[in-house]
Amino acid sequence: MLTCFELVASGDAVGLCQGGFRRAEGVVAVPLAGTPMRWRQVLGWHPEAPAAAFAEQMFAYATQSYEAAVKRSPRYAGWLDEHPRFGLPSLVA
């Protein structure tokens, strides 16, 4: 992933990314027309494993992280407002 980002930052490549990714100097995110792509994030655990005790907290951390990424990207936040079936509400529904 880092190599891909470095290629984009150097101007030698174009990369696909999620709307809330962290930008670096000289890197610009431009939305694709419409809703051509969608990433799905999955959090899973075995119900009898020790990690199961932390599943709800991990989900909360993941949700908070996603919300922070949306706040860092006004363009993405605006896109989500225009496409209500995407984003966090669809995640928890």
Question: What does the domain layout of the chain look like in residue ranges?
Answer: 2-92
> What are the backbone dihedrals phi and psi of residue 77, each rounded to the nearest 5 degrees, phi first?
-60, -40
The pLDDT tens digits along the chain (93 residues) read 778 888 888 888 888 877 667 777 778 878 777 776 777 778 888 999 999 999 989 989 988 998 998 888 888 888 888 888 888 755 554
Q: How many CB atoms lie under 10 A from the CB of residue 76?
A: 19
pLDDT per residue as tens digits for the range 44-66:
889 999 999 999 899 899 889 98
Cα-Cα-Cα-Cα dihedral of 12, 16, 21, 25, to 10°? 20
